[in-house]
Chain A
């Protein structure tokens, strides 16, 4: 069975997508975050726009920062957000 993954969005990523969370079934051929983003782009034009400039985005897998090449493995939650601006 395909791995279920929650995708959570923050800041202007959340506003642009219009919701704060999605749950998807990861396709078998999406082994890394980059590959998953490519898959999502085929599903919805909002993702095409959002992922057009990946330099503006950061990713966390199960609450740890990761790069696009990171394997999804059996992770439960992917977060997509802009660079942080706290403090």
Chain B
């Protein structure tokens, strides 16, 4: 079962993991990404392409289901203005085995960062703004799963 949500509101990662674990298996892996307090960052403004986002995330989740034996996948991504320390993204996977759950979770995050249509703008403490640029390390991480 694949559950994909894009929302402004915060999420409860524990409740999401519980919901997913009810599907079966005994191995739950989850990743939560937060707004990192780098230097003088005040907040992030997250924008997305609503018509494409779910399609892109579902494609990633389907590929994960093809590669690992999973009972379910939950992806939640927030949009809007998020302050330092706030949660941005949750990926949670559920399987019979630890390795499958962890690898699938990692795969989904790596793909999400390079093909899901979200964009981050940094709002700095002095009020200036700056669109975040893609990082080569993210591209390399996503590509490493092709090998």
Q: Which residues in A have some Cβ–Cβ distance to B below 8 Å?
A: 8, 10-12, 60, 63-65, 77, 79, 81-87
Contact pick for B47, options A10, A63, A77, A87, CB 8 Å = A10
B116 touches A86 (CB 8 A): yes
User: Given A11-B131, A12-B131, A84–B51 Cβ distance below 8 Å?
Assistant: no
**Distance in angstroms between the alpha carbons of A10 and B120 in the assembled complex:** 11
Is the contact region of chain B dominated by helix, strand, or loop, or is it mixed? mixed
Residue B33 is within 8 A (CB to CB) of chain A in the complex: yes
B119 touches A87 (CB 8 A): no
**Which of B49, B55, B120 interacts with A85 by CB under 8 Å?**
B120
Is B41 in contact with chain A by the CB < 8 A criterion? no
Check A84–B131 contact: CB distance below 8 A.
Answer: no
A44 to chain B, nearest CB (A): 22
Would you call B132 and A85 a contact (CB within 8 A)?
yes
Q: Check B146 for interface membership: any CB of A closer than 8 A.
A: no
Please report which residues of chain B, range 74-105, place their CB below 8 angstroms from some CB of chain A when the two chains form the complex.
77, 88-89
- Is the pair B88, A11 in contact by a Cβ cutoff of 8 Å? no
CB pair B89 A79 closer than 8 Å:
no
With A10-B117, A63-B55 in contact, is A86–B48 under 8 Å at CB?
yes
Q: A87 to B33: give the CA distance in the assembly, Å.
A: 7
**Contact between A63 and B113, CB atoms less than 8 A apart:** no
Q: Could you list 6 examples of A-B contacts with CB < 8 Å?
A: A60-B52, A81-B117, A84-B115, A84-B117, A85-B118, A87-B113
Selected contact of A10 from candidates B77, B112, B119, CB within 8 Å: B119
The docked-state distance in angstroms from the alpha carbon of A81 to that of B46 is: 14
> Which 10 A-B pairs have CB atoms at the shortest separation, nearest pair first?
A86-B118, A83-B134, A11-B119, A63-B52, A87-B113, A85-B132, A85-B120, A12-B131, A86-B116, A87-B112
How far apart sit A81 and B47, CA to CA, in the bound complex (Å)? 11
Cα-based distance from A83 to B142 in the complex (angstroms) = 14
